[in-house]
Structure 1
Amino acid sequence: MRRGLWFVAGAGAGVYAMVRGRRAAEALSADGLKDRLGALELGARMFRDEVAQGRVERESELRERLGLVPHGRPELEGGRHKAVAPPAAPATTSHAQEEGTT
């Protein structure tokens, strides 16, 4: 029984080492390194996009809380305020001005 146990343990260790060796060789090949660099680039891009999205959400939340820009105002474009002129008052004329011109 002891010899059978050691044989199975040795065979298992040999198979494990062979599989790990093949994976390491594949990872260090040109295609393996290319895949790893592509995955790293994708992960960095996703992280950058998530950070940017969180920053924009937090900035708009702070602007609303501080009352800098009311919610839904189109004056905020690309993170910068546009100068907006106040609405013009309607022109009113008095009756005295109208009578004087006739």
Structure 2
Amino acid sequence: MGTKEVEIVVYGAEQLCASCVSQPSSKETHEWLQAAIGRKYPNQPFTVTFVDIFNPSEEEDKQKFSQRVIEEDMFYPVVLVEGVIVGEGNPRLKTIFAEMEKHGFQPA
């Protein structure tokens, strides 16, 4: 099965956004997604990257999107699968899995 590696990026911050106090932190969401996707799609290549919107990596696309999250006052964490926004604030696994399957992922 020639599935290419899919990149899932979780944009968030160490501190919770003001309206997200009752929700898991961006870091917790990152870890939860990694575990959930790994269980659903074992032995299929993916990476889950956490980007701190207030301290983004050197990659220009990640810096630009971090800026957009701040400027547009998006609810974070914001989750992207291969550049497509699949979740904002409290991401739903169903939506994320549907996007993964568009990239050829097969559930276990």
Is TM > 0.5 for Structure 1 vs Structure 2? no
Calculate the TM-score normalised by the size of structure 1: 0.23
The structure that is helix-richer by fraction is: 1
Which has the larger Rg? 1
